[in-house]
Amino acid sequence: MLRLSLSSALFCAALGGCSFGEQLEPLPLIGDAPHTIAIWPFVAGGQPPDDQLWFTGLAYQLGRRGYRVIAPGITRELLLASDLPASSDDAATVGRALMADAVLYLELREFDARTSGSLQQASWDIAWRLVSTRGQGQQWTYGSHGRWRQGDRDPIDATRRFDEMATPRPIVPIGGHRVPGFRDLSDLLAYLNRGAMERLPERPGS
């Protein structure tokens, strides 16, 4: 069950790893690029940790980077079949059980959201970590922390009507709002997972 925050102090201010509208550049990958990446099916700090919400769009976005992907649902089945504990930190054993060169882990350091039929506001601090199962340690990491509020998408004073004859006319950004809109938590997680995977270098030759 997701933690809900009733605070009205949240505002749209993407911090550190998540800046709406910015051009993302990949972060360096340490060691040899893996061929197959398994997504760990349990999210540290997630409630519940195996909720598919946390993985929204992740396998697809990872695959777009040129890697063969083992989705979290399949990873979980492989773990159950191998009797390997979810807390195992033996990378080599995990790699053999999952038939993967690396494992992608998610950690929710913070995740608060307010919904009222639709998503109203949210704050997050999420980390993605890629760990080798071939003895190369942690190969890549990326963190995103920020805040978002639905009301901050509107550049026009919500207390007055839009008047095309007004002088001067209300300003609306070319191409629409720079701040994205999210209908629900799935939309938000898909956006964050996509941004994180854009920071992962493409596999050479893909």
User: Residues with Cβ < 8 Å from 170, sequence gap 6 or more?
Assistant: 155, 156, 162, 163
Per-residue confidence (pLDDT) for residue 116, from 0 to 100: 75
Residues 6+ apart with CB under 8 A from 75: 38, 39, 40, 41, 98
Summarize pLDDT for 183-203 with one digit per residue, the tens.
Answer: 889 999 999 999 999 999 999
Residue 179, both tokens: 């701040």
Q: What is the pLDDT of residue 118?
A: 82
- State the greatest distance between any 2 C-alpha atoms of the chain, in Å, as a whole number: 70
Amino acid found at 197: M
Token pair recorded at residue 20: 């709406």
Q: Report helix, strand or coil for 48.
A: coil
How far, CA to CA in Å, does 144 sit from each of 21, 34, 82, 124, 206? Answer: 14, 23, 33, 8, 26
**Mean pLDDT by 10-residue block, N- to C-terminus, for the chain (206 residues)?**
33 40 80 97 94 97 98 94 80 94 96 83 95 97 91 48 41 50 89 96 88
Q: Give the global pTM.
A: 0.77
Q: What is the pLDDT of residue 132?
A: 98
- CA-based end-to-end distance of the chain: 38
Quick check: 39 and 57 in contact, CB under 8 A?
no
Identify the pLDDT of residue 166.
42
Q: What are 53-72's pLDDT values in tens digits?
A: 999 999 999 999 999 999 99
Stretch (H or E) spanning 104: strand 102-115
Q: Is 75 exposed, middle or buried (0-12, 13-18, 19+ CB in 10 A)?
A: buried
- Report how far residue 10's alpha carbon sits from residue 113's, in angstroms, rounded to the nearest whole number: 10
What does the domain layout of the chain look like in residue ranges?
Answer: 36-198
Tell me which architecture the domain covering 36-198 has in CATH: 3-Layer(aba) Sandwich (3.40)
